[in-house]
Structure 1
Amino acid sequence: MAKNLQQATLAGGCFWCLESAFNGLKGIESAYSGYAGGHVKEPSYEQVCQADTGHAEVVRITFDADEISYKELLEIFFALHDPTQLNRQGNDIGPQYRSAIFYHNDEQKEQAQALIDELDKQQIWPGKIVTEVTEVNNYYQAEDYHQDYFTNNPQNTYCNMVVAPKLAKFRQKFAQRLKK
């Protein structure tokens, strides 16, 4: 049976958290850590961390839209981070940690903006959502050592203190959507 494969590119803080979460969901073919939205060609992690390339840490998701919709991906994305924090997530500070939806077509753009408007009306967070919605540009996959980082580096301090608790909360909330 043919799959209805589509892509989504999302930024919500450290890419290790998002990549680990999305790779565990049914309907996800792959989720890769990368960089998008900047002006430097093929930036390195070190360059992006200097906060002057314009890139955000992102996850590029390939998903089967017949198993999980784009809107469902966005709902999960908003549950995984605080979209009211400008250029940061917790202690990760800088424009590379901004909340952003890099859309691949007009339908994604419209769905993203409609969901942001809906969530703002619901006042789920104390502040207004600052997630940028912009066309995907200058995407580059991150270095190999960033892929499956949490799985490959479970003893890393950041993974223990930040990624693991976030993933535990995610797995509990979305247990019915997880791959077996």
Structure 2
Amino acid sequence: MDSATQPLGILDLSSELLLMVFEELKASCWGRIYKIRAIKNVRLTCQRFCSTSSHLLLDSVTVEMNLCSVQRFQYISQHPLIAYGVRSIRVLLHYYSSSLVKDLSAYGDHNATKIRDIAQNVQRAVNNTYLQSTDVVLNRTREECRQVIKIAEAWENLEQSDDEGLFKRMAQSGHHIYRSL
């Protein structure tokens, strides 16, 4: 068979056309995880696919102020193929309130509110669910939400209790870590 009649394959496409194919693949996937997985799989196919699609892997990076996250960001920013595709960088700056640092009770109330909000959101979701869940699962979830609300109540009453039980020691330990941050 001579070269004029030889069938063409996908590797015979120009890099520009391959890029369009990979962009379409990424756009056709539902959800961020599936988009990343699709591009990861394309990159594993061959070196040409890898070099053509790598910049589609990440379009945004989130960086927290800790060593692991900053090192990951450095790796991404220095990568010759992936860095080219990053379009946005989000830096998460954590805020630590001085009023929570000074007062264990305020720290407990703050965390109680967060815990209670989560439990109430889960309760609302369970009560409004139209999923095909069994009553056993729904009842267990409701009971777990009640237990979580009891934990929130314990957080609200940290300073009122003279009991040095396990829960109070855990709260004091968490408060100590919060103060150090």
Query: Which TM class, normalised by the smaller chain length?
Result: under 0.3
Q: Which has the higher contact order (CA 8 A, sep 6+)?
A: 1
Structure having the higher Rg: 2
Name the TM-score, length of structure 1 as normaliser: 0.20
TM score, norm. by length of structure 2:
0.20
Q: Which is richer in strand?
A: 1
